Amino acid sequence: MQLWHPGNPCTKREVQMSGVASCWIVPSAGRDELPCDSNGLQSVTAKLAKIICRNDEAPDGIFLESGFNNILDAATHHPMASPYKKMPWFHWLFLDTITENNIHFQSDQSIAEVSPPLLILHAEDDVIVPFHLGVKLYEAAVSTRPDMYGPAEFVPFNASLGYGHKLIFMAPELPDIIRKFMQLCQERKQKLLSESKLLFYL
């Protein structure tokens, strides 16, 4: 079932648009302490980061907020899918249509090739992207990335705080969390530079 129009999300197009934006942002802001952030469609960030890492232009760090492991799981567990999941045609009508329309947001696969440190934030009361999908993304990062890659950190936010899907930015501790993460990214960057210079002299 092909359903396309210019406004439909497409993995390739979304990543290309983000890539164009990054080509402008990086020269404008400079490379120092420039992490890659996602507040929204984090799968685009993950896939773009994978492409950038392949080109040896990895950002210093990446943080993903309220992210899912892949689009099929996200669609299955979305609140609007609840009335239809028990129907025998659910998989054909919803999930197969997503794949047929070139919507392949698979962060759990992209993350395996992302070398910088990762910071994943998720609220336990997120009903749009359930908490356990964020945990799955973190587990994929830990299990598929080589030891030489930057560490992955998962920060949960208790359901009692009421942050849901979009309000993590209200957390009073968030600036400190990000500040510590950026410090870790800078320390790792300096270590890699020192090691590369040592190898050069050897």
The pair of three-digit structure tokens given for residue 77, joined into one six-digit string: 């567990």
Domain parsing of the chain, residue ranges: 27-70+105-201
Helices first, then strands: H and E counts in the chain: 8, 4
pTM of the model: 0.71
How far does Cα 78 stand from its chain's mean position? Answer: 18
User: Of all residues in the chain, what percent carry a pLDDT higher than 70?
Assistant: 64
Position with higher pLDDT, 62 vs 198: 62
How many Å apart are CA 65 and CA 90, to the nearest integer?
Answer: 28
27-70+105-201: CATH superfamily: Alpha/Beta hydrolase fold, catalytic domain (3.40.50.1820)
Summarize pLDDT for 73-118 with one digit per residue, the tens.
Answer: 777 777 777 776 777 766 666 666 766 666 667 888 888 888 999 9
What does the pLDDT average to over 136-153? 94
